[in-house]
Amino acid sequence: MGFYAQTHLQLYRQLQDASYREEDLVLVDRAYLIAMRRFAGYYRPNNKPFLMHLVGVASILVNARQPAEVIAAGLLHSAYLGLGRKGSKVDRTHRKPIADSLGQRVEQLVYAYSNRHWSVEDFHDLEGRLQSLTIDDRQLYLIKFADIHEEFLDAGHLYQPVKKLLSDEDTNKAWFQDVGKGISTLGYESWAKEFQLAIDSNDGNIPDAIRGTASSSYVLAPGLFDSHFKNRLVRWLARVDLRF
């Protein structure tokens, strides 16, 4: 299987090896610094640090030779979840710092992703809808494909049996295959094969005792008691000083 970064240093080396420009690395680094603050103390349901998941998503997009702006958006695809929502929108006070640091293009991708309610139907018959997809739509799909793919790296999905990747996934048992077809439809045959290898992984030797029991990501801040106050404090700290 291909190489997938799980730390920012591995990601930067991957970008350099793929001959991305210096300004591309700087943009991705800025995105990482924002993610580092936003997701301080956050963990996935399989007990993996959230930052590692975000770096993994970005790494998959590097393998797909996406522009630096898409890679940066992949690093921050979850940045607006739970922040300042008004209906289905995100408060502008949370959008401006990211736009100031990374540019309008990156921010708009993150914003569009956060307001997209992904369903199994989004992946069904993508080939038939390919011609109607805009460049923005395609890039959002690629970020989502990378997000789903990353969940299966190192058999990570087996360590979070309670988590659902999509709220309606039970209505379509074949949606994984639809994702693989979608990746191929957008022109990424080798990626589609890598995805298939990842979802087929099944390590039956994982003890139940080390599988995560959470159904969604959670906060674990060292030295703080487990309470609603802790979650609020970590969220506040994650929003401090986003302009650099």
DSSP letter at 208 equals G
Does residue 215 contact residue 43 with C-beta atoms inside 8 Å?
no
For residue range 122-180, list pLDDT tens digits in order: 999 999 999 899 999 999 999 999 999 999 999 999 999 999 999 999 888 789 999 99
Burial of 117 (0-12, 13-18, 19+ CB in 10 A): exposed
Amino acid occupying residue 74: G
For residue range 40-54, list pLDDT tens digits in order: 999 999 999 999 999
Of 203, 204, 230, nearest to 219 by C-alpha is 230
What pLDDT was estimated at residue 26?
A: 98
Whether 38 shows a pLDDT value over 70: the answer reads yes
Burial 162-192 (b: 16+ CB within 10 A, else e): ebebbeeeeebeebbebbbbbbbbbebeebb
Burial of 3 (0-12, 13-18, 19+ CB in 10 A): exposed
What pLDDT was estimated at residue 87?
A: 45
Of 211, 165, 201, nearest to 47 by C-alpha is 211
Q: What is the mean pLDDT of residues 19-37?
A: 97
**Bridging pattern class, strands 89-90 and 85-86:** antiparallel
Of the chain, the end-to-end C-alpha distance in Å amounts to 36
Q: What is the mean pLDDT of residues 13-20?
A: 98
Which domains, ranges and CATH numbers included, belong to the chain?
8-238 (1.10.3210.10)
Other Cβ atoms within 10 Å of 85 Cβ, number: 14
Any idea which residue has 């309610």 for tokens? 117
For residue range 175-211, list pLDDT tens digits in order: 999 999 999 999 999 999 999 999 988 777 889 899 9
Report H helices in 115-174: 126-129, 135-150
Q: What is the mean pLDDT of residues 114-120?
A: 91
> What span, in angstroms and rounded, lies between the C-alpha atoms of 98 and 66?
20
> What span, in angstroms and rounded, lies between the C-alpha atoms of 142 and 175?
16
Percent of the chain whose pLDDT exceeds 70: 86
The token duo for 88 is 């289905």
